[in-house]
Amino acid sequence: MNDSLAPEAVAAHVRGRFGKPYRFEPDCESTQLLLVGSGLGEGAVVATDHQTNGKGRHGRQWIAPPDSSLLFSVMLHPPAERHLPELSLVAALAVAEAVEGATGLTAQIKWPNDVMLNRRKIAGILCELFDGVVVAGIGLNVNQTRDELPLDAPTEPGSLRTLTGQTYDRAPLLGSLLFRLERIYDGWRHGGLTDLYGEIGARDFLRGRRITVDGEAATALQILRDGRLEVATGNGHGTTRAIESGEVLFER
């Protein structure tokens, strides 16, 4: 497979604003760090084949062997009136749609920022705010074999390869993801989650599952129209509440 994320391989697959400019580094510490403070406009992308200190949520590392996956960050300049925590769901929907386009399988969104395929986490999203701009980092496991996936991840990981038995050319997948992200993000810029809610709700992985949120037991009810997660807490008195952020673990 001629699988490369070099600009000459990716350019043919960049169809819109997102991915322009496109910077590729064969190796870097973290693509997040390369966009922060760069002053680049909305849609600028930094991608790499390997991160030496990939950033995950909750202070974790995001680990992937060289050339195995999509590791990239996108610059976003969201309008002040939008609710920024919703951006993780916006990006997750774009990843889910791109994965569905490539595999023909339905992907799900595990609130607030993971993408699941066949109950395995295949992608994580890290949105970081700096001086009014958001750097949205996406890691999508593509061609890792089973033994190349992290053993100690809190949510069991998978890759498109482990879950479908096929390998995937990463450049067209990146192009498809950026194109979908642009369309979904533009919809969100214009009207928030309103028009996206149906697509997000239909892929809600946690709905009805027993979970813990930051250690507290609950049942996930649904992703709400404002992007929060509605949960029923375990006291049997019908108490529900909406959660803005947190680490969610689920029972199998």
Candidate segments 12-20, 131-139, 170-178, 211-219, binder of ligand BTN by CB under 6 A: 131-139
**Position 50 contacts ligand BTN (CB under 6 A):** no
Residue (120 or 232) nearer to ligand BTN, CB: 120
Among 24, 32, 116, 227, binds ligand BTN (CB under 6 A): 32
Which whole-number Å values give the CA distances from 47 to 7, 56, 65, 249, 252, in the listed order?
10, 16, 14, 29, 34
Q: How many CB atoms lie within 10 A of CB 128?
A: 15
29: closest CA among 74, 83, 71, 75?
71
Q: How many CB atoms lie within 10 A of CB 171?
A: 23
Interatomic CA distance for residues 108 and 105, integer angstroms: 10
Q: How many CB atoms lie within 10 A of CB 230?
A: 17
CB of 190 to ligand BTN, least distance (A): 26
Residue (70 or 243) nearer to ligand BTN, CB: 70
Residue (62 or 188) nearer to ligand BTN, CB: 62
Residue (215 or 236) nearer to ligand BTN, CB: 215
Among 96, 102, 125, 133, binds ligand BTN (CB under 6 A): 125
CB of 105 to ligand BTN, least distance (A): 20
Close Cβ partners of 227 (under 8 Å, ≥ 6 residues apart): 83, 85, 86, 89, 112, 193
CB of 25 to ligand BTN, least distance (A): 11
Among 31, 68, 88, 144, binds ligand BTN (CB under 6 A): 31
Q: In terms of C-beta density within 10 A (0-12 exposed, 13-18 middle, 19 or more buried), how is residue 38 classed?
A: middle
Assigned token pair, 44: 């600028």
Cα dihedral: 241, 197, 115, 183 (round 10): -140
- With contact defined as beta carbons under 8 Å apart, do 10 and 24 qualify? yes
Map the footprint of ligand BTN across residues 69-98, applying CB under 6 A.
71-73
CB of 58 to ligand BTN, least distance (A): 7
Among 126, 163, 211, 229, binds ligand BTN (CB under 6 A): 126
Give the contact letters, 97-116, x = binds to ligand BTN (CB under 6 A), - = no.
-----------------x--
Residue (17 or 60) nearer to ligand BTN, CB: 60
Summarize as ranges the residues that interact with ligand BTN (CB under 6 A).
30-32, 51, 54-57, 60, 62, 71-73, 114, 124-126, 137-139
